[in-house]
Amino acid sequence: MTKPLLKGVLKTWKEDRGFGFIVPDNGGRDVFLHISAIASASRRPVPGDIIYYQVARDKHGKFRAVNVSIEGLEMGDKTTNADPGKSRFGLIMTAAIVLLLIVAGAVFMYFRSRGGV
**pLDDT, tens only, 38-51:** 877 778 899 999 99
- Contact by Cβ (8 Å): 6, 53: yes
| Structure confidence at residue 90 as a pLDDT band (50, 70, 90) | confident
Q: Where are the beta strands (DSSP E) in 16-62?
A: 19-24, 31-34, 50-57
Q: What is the largest CA-CA distance in the chain?
A: 83
Band (pLDDT 50/70/90 cuts) for residue 101 is very high
Question: What is the pLDDT at residue 18?
Answer: 92
Domain 6-70: give its CATH code.
Answer: 2.40.50.140
> Is 70 exceeded by the pLDDT of residue 1?
no
Residue ranges of the domains in the chain? 6-70, 82-113
Q: What is the pLDDT of residues 12-68, one digit of tens each?
A: 999 999 999 999 998 889 999 999 998 777 788 999 999 999 999 988 888 899 999
Helix (H) or strand (E) holding 70: strand 63-70
Cβ proximity of 50 and 11 under 8 Å? no
Confidence of residue 79 (pLDDT cuts 50, 70, 90): very low
